[in-house]
A and B are shown apart, each in its own frame.
Chain A
Amino acid sequence: MNLADDWRPGPRAAALLLLERVEQELPFPGAPRVGITGAPGSGKSTLLDALVRAYRRRGETLGIAAVDPSSQRSGGALLGDRIRVRSGAGDPGVFLRSMASRTRLGGLAESTRAGVLVLAAAFDRVLVETVGVGQSEAEVATLVDTLVLVVGPGAGDELQFMKAGLLELPDLILVNKADLGAPAERTAAELASGLGLSEGAASGAPPPVLLASARDGTGVEALVAAIDAHRAELLASGELLRRRRSGREAWLLDALLRRYGSYGLERLGGREALRRRAAEHAGSSAFGLVAQLSREIEEALRKGPGA
């Protein structure tokens, strides 16, 4: 994990080789990757903790990436998830790595994808926890197979954001704090009916809305079952492969844009060209491909405009 995170040229080259191998050798579909996102106060850490217990009871080993936002001003970050997700402490079957989002407002660090792949190689299941603000929800959707949005009772705003297209539609919505009774139930009902009426769900059907209490443990098994069901659906329809590919493509685009900007990307032939190249090399590692494409862009930039 340390190596995958290292930006110095020497370690980075070694990391890329390693990551290339890892990605290449990863079986398909391999370890399920589940994203848990939600606003602060939604209780997603408590829910994650309950999920850890549930999965461990099933005998699955877990690799968890817990992402927290970095301060734009200082560059630092308070990574406080470890303290909330305690059920894995001392358990060799649970590995938790706290990650800062690093660069952009609400986005994810470039190295997060590498981290997730390493975890997928080492554990039966990967859980990625992020704070659902700004870009991070859209980005985490490119890293995981199933995205669960956790909301607390009274989550009217979330629905409005979803309708306005400001939030990607998650695959599952979990209304937490069911132990509060009526307010939680009402929120679940409102979300379910509101989503049923809205357009824009990419796959046609709106995401199921579940009710749970992470604290009591009620509804957690149902969530686990829903996640399993979603995975089965994705596999049966071929959607999982498509998602993994488009996630890969999104990361490639992001990585190249970060390094070379739109100008650099144009030297390659723009997004269309990138898409084509990514499809052509669908079987090979994105890390290898990004190194290759970087070399081509640099070559083109050296030659100057009009080359």
Chain B
Amino acid sequence: MTPGQPPQRDRPWVFRTYSGHSSAAASNALYRGNLAKGQTGLSVAFDLPTQTGYDSDHPLARGEVGKVGVPICHLDDLLALFEGLPLDRMNTSMTINATAAWLLALLIAAAERTGVDPRQLQGTTQNDLIKEYLSRGTYVFPPKPSLRLISDMVAYTVEEVPRWNPTNVCSYHLQEAGATPVQEIAYALATSLAVLDAVRARDDVPEASLPRVVGRISFFLNAGIRFVEEVCKVRAMAELWDELARERYGVADPELRRFRYGVQVNSLGLTEAQPENNAIRIVLESLGVTLSKRARCRALQLPAWNEALGLPRPWDQQWSLRMQQILAFETDLLEYEDLFEGSRVVEARTREIRDAARAELDRVLAQGGAVACVENAYMKQRLVESQTARTRAIEAGLLTVVGVNAFPETEPSPLTAGERSILRVDPSAEREQIERLRAFRTRRSPAEVQAALRNLGDVVANGGNVMPPSVRAALAGVTTGEWTGALRALFGEYRAPTGVVAREPGQASPACLAVRERVHALSESLGRPLKILVGKPGLDGHSNGAEQIAVRARDVGMEVVYDGIRLTPEQIVQSAQDEGVHVIGLSILSGSHEVLVEDVLTRLRAEGCESLPVVVGGIIPEEDALRLRRAGVRRVYTPKDFDLTRILGEIVDVVAEAKAAA
């Protein structure tokens, strides 16, 4: 090192923060603020109606508009989202899947409108439907048409938007759903192979382009708290990807075989109890994907410390951004070559994970690949198993979570008290978005809209690429709901297998046996076994919690009607009546709990079923929980209630209370 000269260092990864809420304008302000603070790329969070293809005024969108992300119904919304942000200089990651083709079309239309050459656009559409079926739940169409849409986008962007990553194969959500490192690697790679095989089979992609296509496949990984293992996991995955690219797709150029990936660190492990500890967890989790130069991420998103409580405020997001900046700019990490080259320990563990992942991938391929393993529920079942094992381990104290099952004592925290500790989406946001949408509809030419929709339907039905007619539709003023509706008419809607299988429960814990006794006793006095309905109202697709509850309820002897996701309050009440359940359990993580639960309670009253008890679980701030209980909800459970057996014991109490009161 020359005195007076700064040391040579690598350029850091891209700093992103996953964000968006309320409206395009509000999100735009947030993005500009974050960019001014040193963020170097955008990561757009869309609200659930946008992700599932409904306009803000659709019945299913009620209570969901602008809650978990920004509502984008049409081109004007997208233009507002990027107001003042030059599209040719932004690197934008869009977390969008079922409607990815539409959002990219909107972006291309926005580029054209603002005089930017679409060829300059840089960024990513997440566009990984397989993981939606397995854990996130914002899919719309069945697997085959979904794969077709993904391959349409790959074929289109390779020529027309060459700096765009058309798909980000995700293992992030798999880990959030309980996947082990081996499963994360195997199932994500299986997905990438499904996409590449679909693209390869197309007539409009010449053999010579295939290496470039392979080179444009990027991944989105998770980084858990076991960061040593995570380093090995990423190294193993990079090796397997290189192998597959070379052997399966004949890619000769090593540059095109490089494993490119972005990361969001683990959020499942962030606790509601003593949430300040999450700041430490987030930093430590970053290490797994930054320490090893050979396996370093291209972009990093850090959740905020208070994710388990609710939406983060700008200050919370800033804190996470500063963590990245300190790691990148204050430490000497970026001054060195790979730290683990030649490490016996890391290389051994990497080999172990790699071999196991290859074997699991082969098992998936033997069954016909990722799509087949979605339809036959193989992957989903493995994930539910892993998640169940993790839940049990935490309950048994075999897996330590500081502040939850170890060291739960705490001083009163100065950080979490009160109404302003999380971001609250203003309820007027939904109303205003709907007003803007209605106004937009009056401004456009109905004839152009109809023509564009007809054109979209014709092209797609005849096997053409979905992108050109979608860009035309975007420019004509077609809305998100209309675009998706046209494709729903062609492809149909899909219900993914739940992976919740009727397998015999293993050895039950004493606590579980005790609750079982109580369930049997109460069932005797009820005249038939205790029956519970478990379901998710609204558009939130994160079904892991509901699935775990359903499985545990079965383990303690209840008859469980697991009704799945995307239910209307009307459907829930109908199911509850037809099935003759003794209690309803609702799971909502999207922040729309007040509207939806109130709707369910109102309908129950209207049907004369007000004595049917309701319990709710999800991401629910304490103040809201109070309101829900006052409205008649018997119990409210949040992430801090990690002991499922205990929850079910309380549900037995709830049913007994309701029976006594009847």
Contacts and interface: CB of A to CB of B under 8 A. Distances in A.
Contacts of A82: 561-563, 575, 579
Contacts of B562: 78-80, 82-83
A70 B520 CA distance: 14
Interface in A62-118: 68-80, 82-84, 86, 89-90, 95-98, 100, 102, 111
B580 A5 contact: yes
A97 B554 CA distance: 18
B554 A77 contact: yes
B508 A73 contact: yes
Interface stretch (A6-14, A168-176, A185-193, A231-239): A6-14
Given A5-B527, A69-B502, A77 B495 contact: no
Contacts of A41: 376
B472 interface: no
A74 B508 contact: yes
A78 B560 CA distance: 5
Contact of A90 (B558, B574, B580): B574
A83 B564 contact: yes
| Interface footprint category on A | 35 or more
B559 A79 contact: yes
A86 B557 CA distance: 26
Most-contacted residue by chain B among A84, A95, A98 (CB, 10 A): A98
Interface residues of B, number: 38
Given A1-B580, A83-B498, A95-B578, A100 B508 contact: no
Contacts of B550: 78
B502 A77 contact: yes
Contacts of A111: 528
B208 to A, nearest CB: 31
A44 B376 CA distance: 13
A203 interface: no
A6 B555 CA distance: 22
Contacts of B516: 74-75
Given A82-B575, A89-B571, A97-B579, A73 B561 contact: no
A11 B505 contact: no
B434 interface: no
Most-contacted residue by chain B among A73, A74, A86, A96 (CB, 10 A): A74
A286 B223 CA distance: 63
B504 interface: yes
Contact of B559 (A7, A72, A73, A100): A100
A83 B574 CA distance: 13
Nearest to A131: B502
A2 interface: yes
Contacts of B578: 95-97
The B interface is mostly helix, strand or loop, or mixed, namely: mixed
Contacts of B501: 40, 78
A74 B502 contact: no
B500 A80 contact: yes
Nearest to B554: A76
B334 interface: no
Contacts of A96: 578
B557 A75 contact: yes
Contacts of B527: 5-8, 11-12
A79 B560 contact: yes
Contacts of B559: 70, 76-77, 79, 98, 100
A1 B578 CA distance: 8
Nearest to A64: B578
B269 interface: no
B422 interface: no
Interface string B553-588: 111111111111000001100110011100000000
B529 interface: yes
A74 B504 CA distance: 8
B242 to A, nearest CB: 33
B108 interface: no
Contact of B498 (A11, A12, A80): A80
Most-contacted residue by chain A among B527, B556, B580 (CB, 10 A): B527
Contacts of A76: 519, 529, 553-560
A86 B493 CA distance: 11
Nearest to A7: B527
B551 interface: yes
A84 B574 CA distance: 16
Contacts of B574: 89-90
A52 B188 CA distance: 36
Given A86-B495, A90-B571, A96-B578, A75 B528 contact: no
B504 A71 contact: yes
Interface string B532-559: 0000000000000000001101111111
A113 B426 CA distance: 53
Interface string B261-299: 000000000000000000000000000000000000000
B502 A75 contact: no
Nearest to A72: B504
Interface string B496-515: 00101110110010000000
Contact of A71 (B505, B520, B570): B505
A54 B376 CA distance: 25
B560 A77 contact: yes
Contact of B554 (A2, A5, A8, A78): A78
Interface in A3-54: 5-8, 11-12, 40-41
B502 A68 contact: yes
B123 to A, nearest CB: 35
A301 B498 CA distance: 50
B115 to A, nearest CB: 46
Nearest to B496: A83
A74 B556 contact: yes
Contact of B563 (A7, A40, A83, A90): A83
Contact of B505 (A68, A74, A89, A97): A74
Contact of B557 (A12, A74, A80, A83): A74
Contacts of A90: 570-571, 574
Contacts of A69: 502
Contacts of A5: 527-528, 580
Interface string B368-385: 000000001000000000
B528 A6 contact: yes
Contact of A100 (B529, B551, B570, B580): B529
A81 B558 CA distance: 16
B510 to A, nearest CB: 14
A66 B528 CA distance: 17
A241 B381 CA distance: 44
16 contacts: A12-B527, A68-B502, A71-B502, A71-B505, A75-B519, A76-B557, A76-B558, A77-B559, A78-B501, A83-B563, A84-B495, A90-B570, A97-B578, A98-B579, A100-B529, A102-B529
Interface of A: 1-2, 5-8, 11-12, 40-41, 68-80, 82-84, 86, 89-90, 95-98, 100, 102, 111
Given A72-B504, A76-B559, 11 more contacts: A7-B527, A70-B559, A71-B554, A74-B508, A74-B554, A75-B529, A79-B560, A80-B500, A82-B575, A86-B495, A89-B574
The 7 A-B pairs with the shortest beta carbon distances in the complex, nearest first, are: A6-B527, A76-B554, A83-B564, A75-B557, A8-B527, A2-B580, A76-B557
